Structure 1
């Protein structure tokens, strides 16, 4: 008989008030930690929004202003996305623990069902505390944050950049003029323009690919803690 079968065959011991109180405090701690990391996610998004706003102000301050700030802010927003993806992995871990307690501990209690530390949820939670690990990869985390927030920021950045080329210093009369205005020092405008197209196409493709990875992963997941 395996250890798992032996554990399942053991009579379930009902939780005493002290154990329930300890788990309640544990739940409060996990909610606090998930809330803390959630606020850190919001901070990173705010940095991206503020820097984009500053770049917009600098670019459209006058008709002779360079569109270069809009190019640089696209790179800076990408850095913020990587920071936020790393923070999201922590948030995801703590939120998964809190969600498991909500669905497998508190929900049965509210329905008048008995709870036991011999349940599957208790073993999963104990394993996660004994060997802490991320529940989501950095790539999938970046994809989620990109689809949730950063796709809109990057879309605004792209529209503002091409809008700047189209109207300043005077409205375009020929498309070739856009290449002239996009030039950055010795770098030809057509190369800058091409780099922008490749950059924005890349994040769109990345968002689609990671969405498919998320869907595939959810179908194959083995633990409800990995659903968050």
Structure 2
């Protein structure tokens, strides 16, 4: 019994979940709708991916400018590098928020790829999620974010921002030590009325917190895409 014959809908039933097979066997209105839906979701995912890249580009640009200025003259204050860390952290927050939106559309795309198109190409393997149609329908009816802000923050830290912050921290350390060898580095680290040891402790606390957020064990909610595998299994080596 099809959807049009009855209001009853069992998303786990084989004829309902494996519509990929039906799309290949015959042209259906649902197949056309799903093709358009997939293109729309891909466009949204691509748009949000570009927004992620824009935030990263601005962060790298700011770092390059700050590093150039900080080491252009010995009289330039070292704390400009710490200001750079604050600015990069702001970009991190912006990118984490954008990542949560990006993950919504990426999750939908993966759901369609795994359960619709993969099934259409090889029906013998079935589908990855028996309830995928109901899940996708529910998300269309009431869109929700799939990952927490903490998970998004950890993801962007591990992928990009720990390295960027590390560059600024290394530059700051070099700036207050080797760049001014005639002064005690704890004295050099001071900022106005703030003593150097206080500044060093604050920077160390921030660094530990960043690593803690990035690598703290947590349940993963973001939908994965790539898995480790044998590259040789993708191509037929005998035909090469």
TM range (shorter): 0.7 to 0.9
| Partner of residue 194 from structure 2, selected from 187, 197, 211 | 187
| Partner of residue 210 from structure 2, selected from 191, 194, 203 | 203
Counterparts of 2:88 and 2:159, CA distance in 1:
14
Q: Which residue of 2 aligns with 1:68?
A: 79
CA spacing shift, 1:144–1:161, aligned 2, 3 Å:
same
Q: Which residue of 1 aligns with 2:97?
A: 86
Unaligned 5+ segments in structure 2 are 1-7, 17-21, 225-240
CA spacing shift, 1:146–1:38, aligned 2, 3 Å:
same
CA spacing shift, 1:194–1:10, aligned 2, 3 Å:
closer
Displacement of 1:217 after TM fit? 3.8
CA spacing shift, 1:192–1:100, aligned 2, 3 Å:
same
Counterparts of 1:27 and 1:196, CA distance in 2:
46
| Partner of residue 7 from structure 1, selected from 6, 10, 15 | 10
In the alignment, structure 1 residue 59 sits paired with structure 2 residue 62 = no
Q: Map of 1:1-228 to 2, 5 A cutoff?
A: 7=10, 12=15, 14=22, 16-112=27-123, 120-169=131-180, 171=181, 177-209=184-216, 212-213=217-218, 216-217=219-220, 227-228=223-224
Query: Structure 2 length as normaliser, TM-score?
Result: 0.79
Displacement of 1:120 after TM fit? 1.9
- Retained in 1: the 8 A contact 2:78–2:176? yes
Query: Structure 1 length as normaliser, TM-score?
Result: 0.83
Unaligned 5+ segments in structure 1 are 219-225
| Structure 1 residues 107-160: Cα deviation after superposition (integer angstroms, max 9, x where no partner) | 1111256999xx621111101101110000001000000000000001101000
Displacement of 1:198 after TM fit? 1.0
Counterparts of 1:39 and 1:227, CA distance in 2:
19
Counterparts of 2:104 and 2:112, CA distance in 1:
13
- Retained in 2: the 8 A contact 1:64–1:168? no
Counterparts of 1:190 and 1:77, CA distance in 2:
23
Paired residue total: 207
CA spacing shift, 1:65–1:129, aligned 2, 3 Å:
same
Counterparts of 1:79 and 1:138, CA distance in 2:
14
Cα RMSD (Å): 2.4
Counterparts of 1:199 and 1:114, CA distance in 2:
48
Return the structure number with greater helix share. Answer: 1
CA spacing shift, 1:153–1:34, aligned 2, 3 Å:
same
